[in-house]
Amino acid sequence: AAGVIQSPRHLIKEKRETATLKCYPIPRHDTVYWYQQGPGQDPQFLISFYEKMQSDKGSIPDRFSAQQFSDYHSELNMSSLELGDSALYFCASSQGPLAVEEETQYFGPGTRLLVL
């Protein structure tokens, strides 16, 4: 079965550079979530989109922005990168809004970002 695709899988950047992470949801999934997982930590919610509109926002820095496009893929743009941004960034997708019982988030393999 098709899964969530994230690119790139690994990314190395210098401080103050910018980075763009891409997420391609499972076909027919219209909701996308972004999470950040620091070393040894649990994933933290950043932002989500439903039908190309932002639906929820978590602890996402102002230096980060994201959007969902007409084909439902999403991009997370990160500017003025800091050492602390080094983390694993997950994208998840779901098919919503169905009945709440139906909504399950399926995660991609993640993008590992290292800021030097």
50-79 binders of another protein (CB under 8 A) = 50, 55-56, 58
Q: Toward another protein, which CB reaches closer, 45 or 52?
A: 45
Q: Which stretch binds another protein (CB under 8 A): 18-26, 67-75, 79-87, 105-113?
A: 105-113
E-strand spans in the chain?
5-7, 10-13, 19-24, 31-37, 44-50, 53-57, 64-68, 74-78, 87-94, 106-107, 111-115
C-alpha of 53 from chain center: 14
Closest CA to 113 of 69, 64, 48: 64
Give the residue, chosen from 64, 78, 108, 113, that forms a contact with another protein under the rule CB under 8 A.
108
- 45 forms bridges with which residues in the sheet? 35
As measured in angstroms, the least distance from the Cβ of 4 to another protein is 8
Q: Which stretch binds another protein (CB under 8 A): 21-29, 38-46, 60-68, 78-86?
A: 38-46
Q: Quick one: tokens of 97?
A: 């809004």
Interface residues with another protein (CB under 8 A) are 4, 31, 33, 35, 41-45, 48, 50, 55-56, 58, 90, 92, 94, 96-97, 100-101, 103-110
